[in-house]
Amino acid sequence: SEKSEKTAQWVRADRDRLMHPNLPDSRTERTVMVEGRGCHVRDSSGRKYLDAAAVLGVMQVGHGRSEIVEAATAQMSSLECFHIWETMSNDKAIELAVRVTGLAPPGLERAYFTSGGAEGNEIALRMARYFHYRREQPERTWILSRKSAYHGIGYGSGSVSGLPVYHQGFGPVMPDVHHLTAPDPYHAEAYGGEDVTEFCLRELRETIERIGPERIAAMIGEPVMSVGGAVIPPPDYWPRVAELLRSHGILLIFDEVVTGYGRTGRWFAAEHFGVTPDIMVTAKGITSGYVPHGAVLVSDEVAATVTGSTGFPIGFTYTGHPTACAVALANLDIIEGENLLENAVKTGGYLADRLAPLRDLPAVGDVRQIGLMLGVELVADKTARTQLPTGAAPVVQALREDEGIIVRGNPRSLLINPPLVLDRGAADQLADGLFSVLERVGTDGRVRP
């Protein structure tokens, strides 16, 4: 048929001309997506999938929202592109800055716009070092981060990411970075019998002493680890970390690129922990991915210090891009107007109840949920809590191919971040699909037919 002819052409051209992250040469199959509506997307052969990854955790309001298309069209018709540079500004960037600082925890009063998460973390790291430089403490260059963290793949953001795959083979990483142990309550046995928070705090205290507080600029962390596996820290971890950092004049950077804009059932995950960082990096959900965008939200003190009498010297071409800002405003209108935070809490809770019995399956170690951010940890051995030799890849593939459900995976866990518009029907489809595949997983990680 014409459809399969066209698909074959696309697949050939994709293999010949397009580079994919994370795809070995030996894999020749492709899934070519051509349209989306709500929580579902459709490929070039006409097959429909439940997008339970919300693309890569971006799609809060669902696919195909005409309100956003109209906002983008209107903005492009009046002023498609302009920069924020020296005294130049634009109306949509100003409106969005007011809007996002109004949503953020009190204390984060200024916005610096980017085109994505990695860019935001680059800016945050530079702001942190520059803050101390401007306060005549230029020796404060060290950045504390955490193992298993993901902050994007820029030079700085990739260096503070804590997964070895982002470092190996890429030459020298950014100097003056230290990776701490991240809290992971499911693997409490790995903390030598100590309470998870106590362990992490002791390690942080010892690290600060060893490096010297007068040499440390900032600590960066995802309030809830996303790529690391939807790992939710104990409730006292962030408040105690924040207090210790503050006592040493070390800035706290929260990477809310995934958790921001309702993913966890609050506007920002910082609210769950009652902690306001000095710098908060956001992206993804700010536009639901309709166009790339991000916002770094900064305290008045940091903003005023890095700006100073000569200005903060770095900016991107697309900082405050008016079309992206107009899309963000329309997207935030939908999140608010449709009470999507409430839906994340309600439908997330419903899913957690439905998925709880997964824990009885031999291959499932843990099910974690906060809002519509879920992780299912897969194990080869439930007692030893060891990971499957294959990681989650065969399960991710079986979910897609057998059940028409798209999720992501890492070596230990399934990462499930559905759109915040997820309804009961789609939640049931997701839960049923997960049961049907996870029941068939062996200790070797393979999925039985």
Chain residues that interact with ligand PLP, rule: CB under 6 A: 56, 116-118, 121, 150-152, 222, 226-227, 255, 257-258, 283
Using CA atoms, how far apart are residues 144 and 140, in angstroms rounded to an integer?
12
Using CA atoms, how far apart are residues 335 and 287, in angstroms rounded to an integer?
10
Of 60 and 429, nearer to ligand PLP (C-beta) is 60
Of 121 and 319, nearer to ligand PLP (C-beta) is 121
Q: Report the 10 Å Cβ neighbour count for 187.
A: 15
Largest CA distance in the chain: 69
Residue type, position 109, single letter: E
Q: Please, what is the minimum distance in Å from the beta carbon of residue 371 to ligand PLP?
A: 15
Of 118 and 279, nearer to ligand PLP (C-beta) is 118
Q: Please, what is the minimum distance in Å from the beta carbon of residue 379 to ligand PLP?
A: 24
Backbone torsions φ then ψ of 288, nearest 5 degrees: 50, 25
Nearest to 234 by CA among 221, 224, 222: 224
Of 298 and 398, nearer to ligand PLP (C-beta) is 298
Residue type, position 198, single letter: E
Q: Report the 10 Å Cβ neighbour count for 413.
A: 28
Q: Please, what is the minimum distance in Å from the beta carbon of residue 435 to ligand PLP?
A: 27
Q: What is the dihedral of CA 49, 54, 59, 62, to 10 degrees?
A: 30
Question: Who's near 167: CB < 8 A, 6+ residues apart?
Answer: 158, 159, 161, 173
Please provide the size of the chain in residues. 449
Of 280 and 437, nearer to ligand PLP (C-beta) is 280
Q: Please, what is the minimum distance in Å from the beta carbon of residue 73 to ligand PLP?
A: 24
Nearest to 106 by CA among 240, 302, 297, 307: 297
Q: Please, what is the minimum distance in Å from the beta carbon of residue 258 to ligand PLP?
A: 4
Q: Please, what is the minimum distance in Å from the beta carbon of residue 253 to ligand PLP?
A: 11
DSSP string, 63-127: B--HHHHHHHHHHHHHH-----BTTB--HHHHHHHHHHHHHSPTT--EEEEESSHHHHHHHHHHH
Of 149 and 364, nearer to ligand PLP (C-beta) is 149
Half-sphere exposure of 161 (CA within 13 A, CB side): 23
Of 7 and 159, nearer to ligand PLP (C-beta) is 159
Q: Please, what is the minimum distance in Å from the beta carbon of residue 11 to ligand PLP?
A: 25
Q: Please, what is the minimum distance in Å from the beta carbon of residue 402 to ligand PLP?
A: 26
Nearest to 71 by CA among 291, 282, 261: 291
Of 228 and 445, nearer to ligand PLP (C-beta) is 228
Minimal CB distance residue for ligand PLP: 117
Of 186 and 254, nearer to ligand PLP (C-beta) is 254
Q: Please, what is the minimum distance in Å from the beta carbon of residue 121 to ligand PLP?
A: 6
Q: Report the 10 Å Cβ neighbour count for 300.
A: 11
Range list of H helices, 261-299: 270-273
Q: Please, what is the minimum distance in Å from the beta carbon of residue 119 to ligand PLP?
A: 6
Q: Please, what is the minimum distance in Å from the beta carbon of residue 292 to ligand PLP?
A: 7
Of 55 and 208, nearer to ligand PLP (C-beta) is 55
Q: How far is CA 74 from CA 159, 221, 334, in A?
A: 40, 37, 17
Nearest to 414 by CA among 356, 360, 374, 357: 374
Of 158 and 265, nearer to ligand PLP (C-beta) is 158
Q: How far is CA 235 from CA 100, 253, 370, in A?
A: 25, 18, 13
